Amino acid sequence: QVQLQESGPGLVKPSETLSLTCTVSGGSINTYFWSWIRQPAGKGLEWIGRIYTSGNTNYNPSLRSRVTMSVDTSKNQISLNLTSLTAADTAVYYCAREPQTHPYTSRPLDYWGQGTPVTVSS
């Protein structure tokens, strides 16, 4: 069974950089897109971006100037860096898998991590 586990600091200061890692177990990260999604408390879901195991990325234009994603296939890990943090970045951050092949050619997010809460505060 595929499992995703996000990890990172729960508290980050304003203007600093957030670094999160998603570790995938129970399956290979190869041939999938891996997405990051966030959710402020009591609000909806916002897609941050995705990375393919080749390193190709797509970022949300609203965050593109501050986001970097990377992949380490040897460790089965995906990473997210978000710079210049403000209180508006306080949220639960999820990683999720996006398959591309049959029967999932419509590219849903089929596996999600449990999420890691991040608070931006001094």
Partner 1 sequence: DIQMTQSPSSLSASVRDRVTITCRASQSISNYLSWYQQKPGKAPKLLIFAASSLQSGVPSRFSGSGSGTDFTLTISSLQPEDFATYYCQQSYSTPRTFGQGTKVESK
Q: Provide the binding-site residues for partner 1, judged by CB under 8 A.
A: 35, 44-47, 49-50, 58-62, 94, 98, 103-110, 112-115
For partner 1, the closer CB: 58 or 76: 58
For partner 1, the closer CB: 16 or 21: 21
Least separation, in Å, of the C-beta of 3 and partner 1?
11
Alpha carbons 107 and 99: distance in angstroms, whole number: 6
For partner 1, the closer CB: 16 or 99: 99
Tally: H helices and E strands in the chain:
0, 11
Structure tokens belonging to residue 57: 């990325």
| Alpha-carbon radius of gyration of the chain | 14
